[in-house]
Structure 1
Amino acid sequence: MAEALRKGTKVKWNSSGGIAHGKVVKKVTSETRIKNHKVAASDDNPQVIVETKKGSRAAHKPSALTRE
């Protein structure tokens, strides 16, 4: 599904508070930080940065996201 997730794609994912909804910001393939949390992304382990409507950002594996 990774190839279908482009910037702006609406997605949903499971979070501690239930189902979260948002959009794809970008795909990362190198280590980065979000809210002082290390995202261990690589070419072999890409991560997708998503943003909720409230502006919160998180990183998820593409397999954890469902296209809406």
Structure 2
Amino acid sequence: MSQAFKRGDHVSWNSEAGRVRGHIVRVHKKDVNYKGYVHHASAEEPQYEIKSDKTDHIALHKGRVLRRLRR
């Protein structure tokens, strides 16, 4: 099971461009359709909607790829 995060947590994840940082803006516990793709989510394995600190880009990721950052 992956680590649980909550709205407002500052996290980082790996992308094609390198390590990205952002804040969780929403936690999805049901499947969500985003940009034409269904992101599968459940209460046991939610999808986290994250807003990038640098570009304001929105990404969806499962908890297993995220790292919590200190404030």
TM-score by length of 1: 0.82
The Cα shift of 1:55 comes to: 1.7
TM-score by length of 2: 0.79
Unaligned runs of 5+ in 1: none
Once the two structures are superposed, residues 10-66 of structure 1 have per-residue CA deviations (whole angstroms, 9 ceiling, x without a partner) of 100001110011011121111112223321112343211111022211111111100
Unaligned runs of 5+ in 2: none
2: CA distance between counterparts of 1:44 and 1:6?
A: 14
Between Structure 1 and Structure 2, the one with more helix by share is 1
Taking only the aligned residue pairs, the percentage that are identical comes to 29
What pairs with 1:1-68 in structure 2 (closer than 5 Å)? 1-2=3-4, 5-53=5-53, 54-68=55-69
Q: Could you say what the CA RMSD is over the residues aligned between the two structures, in angstroms?
A: 1.3
CA contact (8 A) 2:14 2:20 kept: yes
> What number of residue pairs does the alignment pair up?
66
CA contact (8 A) 1:34 1:57 kept: no
